[in-house]
């Protein structure tokens, strides 16, 4: 069940352009699955009227905590990033549909680009609990984009690309040697749209099944306003309600 | 005890003055985790046209100071789909369910209204003659007195339940338009629909919306809406339903003081999905605080 909840910011970590926000609720969290997102209200920012959709980076059900990685891209996210520990942050959650779980024995690749690596952490963690070890391929412009890399490396074989070559292989995620060295049954992608399209193409070439997580501009987050639509084989559908995770076969890419 | 009942006429009785605006509350189902619909006077479901529409391309939304622009363009699956698939799911909600009906030709409006006239648990339609986001959309009818007279009188002939007409603010004299709707047989008018606006991305030198212009809504439009409700309420005898930027109970009370018999919550549902029920409670609290026995006493109670 979806809910509106006041969380307390219990920990904030600074990663330069992005921040990690660990939020604790006084009440029990609803069920949340990897790939779902939240809508965060931004207080005290006159030009920020709407909530900001943010993917769920991690969940600690025992402590009623969710963790978000917020990249500062505009005034709204800058205000969120300026929150202080102890501040109240109002969140609507959980929204949208998560990634489809693979069958046991299927070889999974999780591909993240930039801040798009955020939801893959929770996903890889849950996969691990189900006895599935994913391979992670994480890309950034530069080394500092690869937030919490050591933690990701705990969750599976993790490969890295950077556009400037400061870490891992130089170039885009689609250029990494793992594509020639290994084969995958299911590929999950979150990142900038051009990157997701490139990975989807690569997946199609290798006959792999592929899911992507989209982040179109949203207002309601509930499937009511019909603003965040993506063109699919079924027509315009709301990314917030029918996504954000889509099988690439459904998309008109 | 405060009596919160509002009778808008021709069988449309609201348990309280709060409804949710078309296009901001889906079909109600999207909000049942947040709001007990039995706490609302009514819900007005997404703008529906006779034939299915895919709507405008993405991007359809641009945030603006204290508001937003949209150019959704009446994406919907058509009246028949509504009757067959959606109506059976929502007809037993413990609140009034109203259909917002739009069109691009007179025939579409009439046919659509005729088709939903027999739906037992649909006590009213809100005739949308004011969507700014569709070429040859309803707004063509809604911006002249002759246009609105024509569409309202033709729909009136086939639609025998409560006929609410949603007015466009994109006109020179909204009171004249409201009077024309009243004379043509409207049971009530609701206002305002969105104000036509535009947003530009200076970095890219491109419009932010796919079809360049869109409808402005949210807190920023409230003063304009309030003024128009006040002007229309003075002009017409039929009930006025006020909307435009209402975000809390105080806003709602202001619209009633200006002459609205009921109100709609729109864009505020996006910021707080539970806001509509809170507004209903807040209106009652206001009445208690000032000793009003009935919310009816608020209507037009502005002291000028």
Q: Are A225 and A247 in contact (CB under 8 A)?
A: no
* pLDDT value at B133 more than 90: no
Q: Are B79 and B86 in contact (CB under 8 A)?
A: no
For A158-166, what is the mean pLDDT?
A: 98
The tens digit of pLDDT for each residue in B42-94 reads 999 999 999 999 999 999 999 999 999 999 999 999 999 999 999 999 999 99
Instruction: State whether A228 and B61 contact (CB < 8 Å).
Output: yes
Q: Which residues contact A179 (CB under 8 A, 6 or more apart)?
A: A202, A206
Domain B6-54+72-195+216-298 matching CATH 3.40.50.12160: the answer reads no
The percent of residues in chain B predicted with pLDDT above 70, rounded, is 98
Q: Rounded to whole angstroms, how far apart are CA atoms A13 and A219?
A: 28
Number of CB pairs, chain A paired with chain B, less than 8 A apart: 99
Q: Rounded to whole angstroms, how far apart are CA atoms A190 and A177?
A: 19
- In Å, what is the CA distance from A128 to each residue of A134, A183, A207? 8, 19, 24
For B270-279, what is the mean pLDDT?
A: 98
Residues of A with a Cβ under 8 Å from any B Cβ are 1-4, 41, 46-51, 92, 216-231, 235-236, 241
Instruction: State whether B61 and A223 contact (CB < 8 Å).
Output: no
B131 catalytic residue (yes or no): yes
Could you tell me the pLDDT band of residue B285, with boundaries at 50, 70 and 90?
Answer: very high
Alpha carbon B65 to its chain's center? 22
Q: Are A228 and A247 in contact (CB under 8 A)?
A: no
At residue B136, the pLDDT reads: 59
Q: Rounded to whole angstroms, how far apart are CA atoms B177 and B161?
A: 21
B78 interfaces chain A, CB cutoff of 8 Å: no
B57 interfaces chain A, CB cutoff of 8 Å: yes
Facing B271 at nearest CB: one of A41, A224, A228: A41
Residue B274, classified by CB atoms within 10 Å of its CB into exposed (0-12), middle (13-18) or buried (19+), is middle
Chain B residues close to A231, C-beta within 8 Å: 57-58
Chain B residues close to A220, C-beta within 8 Å: 24, 30, 269-270, 273
The tens digit of pLDDT for each residue in A94-125 reads 999 999 999 989 999 999 999 999 999 999 99
Sign for the pseudo-dihedral over CA of B286, B292, B293, B299: negative
For A233-241, what is the mean pLDDT?
A: 97
Query: What is the DSSP code (8-state) at residue B91?
Result: T
Rounded mean pLDDT of chain B?
A: 96
The tens digit of pLDDT for each residue in B17-36 reads 999 999 999 999 999 999 99
Rounded mean pLDDT of chain A?
A: 97
B273 interfaces chain A, CB cutoff of 8 Å: yes
* pLDDT value at B138 more than 80: no
The tens digit of pLDDT for each residue in B287-298 reads 999 999 999 999
* pLDDT value at B135 more than 70: no
Q: Rounded to whole angstroms, how far apart are CA atoms B34 and B44?
A: 17
* Beta-carbon-side half-sphere exposure of residue A61 (alpha carbons within 13 Å): 7
Q: Rounded to whole angstroms, how far apart are CA atoms B290 and B304?
A: 18
Beta bridge partners of B64: B67
Neighbours of B88 (CB within 10 A): 10
Domain A108-213 matching CATH 3.40.50.80: the answer reads yes
Compare all CA atoms of chain B with the CA of A30 and give the residue at the minimum distance: B33
Q: Are A138 and A74 in contact (CB under 8 A)?
A: no
Q: Rounded to whole angstroms, how far apart are CA atoms B188 and B10?
A: 10
B66 interfaces chain A, CB cutoff of 8 Å: yes
At residue B207, the pLDDT reads: 98
B90 interfaces chain A, CB cutoff of 8 Å: no
B70 interfaces chain A, CB cutoff of 8 Å: yes
The percent of residues in chain B predicted with pLDDT above 90, rounded, is 95
CA distance B33 to chain A (A): 6
Chain B residues close to A223, C-beta within 8 Å: 26, 30
Q: CA torsion, points A173, A177, A178, A181, in degrees to nearest 10? A: 160
At residue A96, the pLDDT reads: 98
Encoding tokens for residue A233? Answer: 């084989």
Q: Rounded to whole angstroms, how far apart are CA atoms A70 and B91?
A: 41
Sequence spans of domains, chain A? 3-95, 108-213
Sequence spans of domains, chain B? 6-54+72-195+216-298
B219 interfaces chain A, CB cutoff of 8 Å: yes
Q: Rounded to whole angstroms, how far apart are CA atoms B104 and B187?
A: 22
CATH classification for the domain delimited by A3-95, as one of 2.40.30.10, 3.90.980.10, 3.30.70.260, 3.40.50.150: 2.40.30.10
Single pTM value for the model: 0.96
Chain B residues close to A49, C-beta within 8 Å: 63-68, 218-219, 271
Residue A166, classified by CB atoms within 10 Å of its CB into exposed (0-12), middle (13-18) or buried (19+), is middle
Bridge-based pairing state of the strands B262-265 and B18-20: parallel
Q: Rounded to whole angstroms, how far apart are CA atoms A159 and A138?
A: 6
At residue B130, the pLDDT reads: 79
Beta bridge partners of A66: A23, A59
The percent of residues in chain A predicted with pLDDT above 70, rounded, is 100
Q: Are B103 and B126 in contact (CB under 8 A)?
A: no
* pLDDT value at B234 more than 80: yes
Residue A37's nearest CA partner among A116, A111, A108, A136 is A116
**What one-character-per-residue DSSP string does chain A give?**
--EEEEEEEEEEEEETTEEEEEEEESSPPPP--TT-EEEE--TT-TT--S-EEEE--EEEGGGTEEEEEEE--SHHHHHHHT--TT-EEEEEEEESB-PPPPPTT--EEEEEEGGGGHHHHHHHHHHHHTT---EEEEEESSGGGSTTHHHHHTSSEEEEEETTSSSSEES-GGG-THHHH---SEEEEES-HHHHHHHHHHHHHTT-EEEEE-----SSSSSSS--SEEEETTEEEEHHHH-BEEEGGGB--
For A166-190, what is the mean pLDDT?
A: 97
Instruction: State whether B65 and A3 contact (CB < 8 Å).
Output: no
Alpha carbon B208 to its chain's center? 25
B75 interfaces chain A, CB cutoff of 8 Å: yes
For B4-17, what is the mean pLDDT?
A: 98
Encoding tokens for residue A237? Answer: 């559908």
Probe site for chain A from B32, B47, B60 (most A CB atoms < 10 A): B60
* pLDDT value at B208 more than 80: yes
Q: Do domains A3-95 and A108-213 have the same CATH topology?
A: no
Could you tell me the pLDDT band of residue B140, with boundaries at 50, 70 and 90?
Answer: confident
Longest dimension (CA), chain B: 57
Facing A223 at nearest CB: one of B26, B55, B64: B26
């Amino acid at each position: 069940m979806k809910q509106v909840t006041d969380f307390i910011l219990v920990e904030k970590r600074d990663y330069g352009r992005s921040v990690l926000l660990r939020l604790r609720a006084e009440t029990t969290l609803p069920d949340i699955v990897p790939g779902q997102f939240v809508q965060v209200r931004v207080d005290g920012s006159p030009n920020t009227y709407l909530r900001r959709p943010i993917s769920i980076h991690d969940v600690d059900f025992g402590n009623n905590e969710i963790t978000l990685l917020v990249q500062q891209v505009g005034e709204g996210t800058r205000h969120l990033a300026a929150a202080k520990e102890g501040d109240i942050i109002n969140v609507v959650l959980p929204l949208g549909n998560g990634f489809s779980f693979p069958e046991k024995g299927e070889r999974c690749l999780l591909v993240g680009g930039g801040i798009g690596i955020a939801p893959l952490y929770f996903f890889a963690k849950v996969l691990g609990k189900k006895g599935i070890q994913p391979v992670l391929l994480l890309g950034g412009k530069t080394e500092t984009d690869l937030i919490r890399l050591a933690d990701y490396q705990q969750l599976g074989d993790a490969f890295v690309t950077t556009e400037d070559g400061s870490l891992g292989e130089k170039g885009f995620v689609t250029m990494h040697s793992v594509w020639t060295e290994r084969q995958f049954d299911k590929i999950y992608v979150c990142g900038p749209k051009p990157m997701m399209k490139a990975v989807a193409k690569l997946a199609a070439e290798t006959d792999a099944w592929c899911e992507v997580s989209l982040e179109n501009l949203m207002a309601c987050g509930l499937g009511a306003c019909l603003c965040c639509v993506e063109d699919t084989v079924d027509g315009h559908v709301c990314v917030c309600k029918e996504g954000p995770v889509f099988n690439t076969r459904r998309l008109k890419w | 005890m405060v009596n919160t009942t509002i009778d808008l006429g021709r069988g449309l009785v609201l348990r309280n003055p709060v409804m949710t605006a078309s296009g901001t509350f889906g079909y109600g189902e999207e909000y049942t985790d947040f709001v007990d619909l039995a706490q609302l006077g009514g819900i007005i479901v997404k703008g529906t046209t006779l034939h299915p529409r895919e709507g405008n391309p993405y991007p359809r939304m641009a945030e603006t100071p204290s508001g937003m622009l949209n150019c959704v363009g009446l994406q919907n699956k058509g009246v028949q789909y509504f009757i067959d698939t959606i109506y059976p799911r929502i007809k037993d909600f413990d609140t009034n369910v109203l259909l917002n009906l739009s069109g691009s030709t007179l025939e579409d409006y009439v046919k659509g209204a005729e088709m939903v006239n027999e739906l037992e648990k649909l006590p009213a339609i809100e005739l949308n003659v004011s969507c700014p986001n569709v070429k040859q959309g309803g707004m063509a009818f809604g911006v002249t007195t002759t246009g609105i007279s024509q569409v309202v009188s033709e729909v009136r002939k086939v639609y025998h339940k409560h006929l609410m007409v949603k007015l466009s603010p994109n006109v020179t004299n909204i009171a004249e338009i409201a009077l024309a709707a009243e004379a043509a047989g409207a049971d009530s008018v609701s206002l305002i629909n969105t104000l036509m606006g535009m947003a530009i991305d200076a970095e890219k030198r491109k419009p932010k919306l796919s079809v360049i212009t869109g409808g402005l809504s949210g807190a920023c439009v409230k003063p304009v809406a309030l003024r128009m409700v006040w002007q229309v309420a003075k002009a017409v005898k039929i009930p006025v339903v006020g909307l435009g930027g209402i975000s809390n109970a105080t806003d709602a009370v202001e619209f009633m003081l200006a002459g609205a018999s009921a109100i709609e919550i729109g864009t505020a549902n996006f910021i707080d999905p539970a806001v509509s029920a809170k507004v209903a409670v807040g209106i009652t609290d206001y009445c208690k605080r000032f000793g009003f026995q009935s919310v009816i006493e608020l209507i037009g109670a502005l002291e000028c």
